[in-house]
Amino acid sequence: MNEKLVMFQNRLHKVYKHKSKQANRQNITCYRVYDHDLPEFPFCIELYDDKVYLAEYLRRHGMTDEEHEQWLEECVAVICALLPVADANVYIKQRKRKANRLDQYEKTDTKAEYFSVAEQGLQFLVNLTDYLDTGLFLDHRITRQMVRNESKGKRILNLFAYTGSFSVYAAAEDALSVTTVDLSKNYLNWAEQNMELNALKDDSKHYFIHADVKQYLKTLPPNSFDLVVIDPPTFSNSKRMKDFLDIQRDHVELLNDVIAATTTGGTIYFSTNFSKFVIDATAIKATTIKNITRATTPFDFEGKLKRWCYKLNI
Ligand X SMILES: C[S@@+](CC[C@H](N)C(=O)[O-])C[C@H]1O[C@@H](n2cnc3c(N)ncnc32)[C@H](O)[C@@H]1O
The residue among 56 and 182 lying less far from ligand X, judged by its C-beta, is: 182
Q: How far is the CB of 80 from ligand X (least distance, A)?
A: 29
182 binds ligand X (CB under 6 A): yes
Our CB check for ligand X shows the closer of 57 and 274 to be 274
Nearer to ligand X, 35 or 119 (CB): 119
Q: Which is nearer to ligand X, 85 or 157 (CB)?
A: 157
Which region, judged by CB under 6 A, interacts with ligand X, from 26-34, 93-101, 209-217, 218-226?
209-217
Instruction: Kindly state the number of chain residues that form the binding site for ligand X, as judged by CB under 6 A.
Output: 21
Nearer to ligand X, 9 or 127 (CB): 127
30 binds ligand X (CB under 6 A): no
Q: Which is nearer to ligand X, 91 or 162 (CB)?
A: 162
| Residue 184 sits in the site that holds ligand X (CB under 6 A) | yes
Q: Does 54 bind ligand X (CB under 6 A)?
A: no
**Contact of 28 with 49, CB cutoff 8 Å:** no
Q: Map the footprint of ligand X across residues 132-171, applying CB under 6 A.
A: 137, 140, 160-163, 165-166
Cα separation, 285 vs 259, whole angstroms: 7
Radius of gyration, CA atoms only, the chain: 20
Secondary structure E strands in the chain? 30-35, 43-48, 51-58, 90-96, 114-119, 122-127, 155-159, 177-182, 206-210, 225-230, 235-236, 245-246, 262-272, 288-291, 308-313
Contact map string, positions 81 to 120, toward ligand X, x by CB under 6 A:
------------------------x---------------
Distances (CA, A) of 118 to 126, 198, 210, 220: 10, 10, 27, 34
DSSP 8-state secondary structure symbol assigned to residue 234: S
- Whose Cβ is closer to ligand X: residue 67's or residue 106's? 106
H-run or E-run covering 8: helix 3-25
* Cα dihedral sign, 31-37-39-41: negative
Measure the CA–CA gap between 96 and 197, rounded to whole angstroms: 33
| Strand pairing class (245-246; 235-236) | antiparallel
| DSSP letter (8 states) at residue 219 | T
Q: Among residues 31 and 187, whose Cβ is nearest to ligand X?
A: 187
Residue 176 contacts residue 154 (beta carbons within 8 Å): yes
**Residues 55, 79, 213, 228: which binds ligand X (CB under 6 A)?**
213
Question: Whole-number minimum distance, CB 39 to ligand X, in Å?
Answer: 26
The kind and range of the H/E element at 73 are helix 65-82
CA distance 243 to 77: 47
Residues of this chain, 226-265, that bind ligand X according to CB under 6 A: 231, 233, 236, 241, 245
Diameter of the chain by CA atoms? Answer: 64
Q: Is the Cβ of residue 59 or residue 240 nearer to ligand X in the bound state?
A: 240
CB of 181 to ligand X, least distance (A): 6
How many residues in the chain? 314
Residue 131 interacts with ligand X (CB under 6 A)?
no
Q: Contact residues for ligand X (CB under 6 A)?
A: 105, 137, 140, 160-163, 165-166, 182-184, 187, 212-214, 231, 233, 236, 241, 245
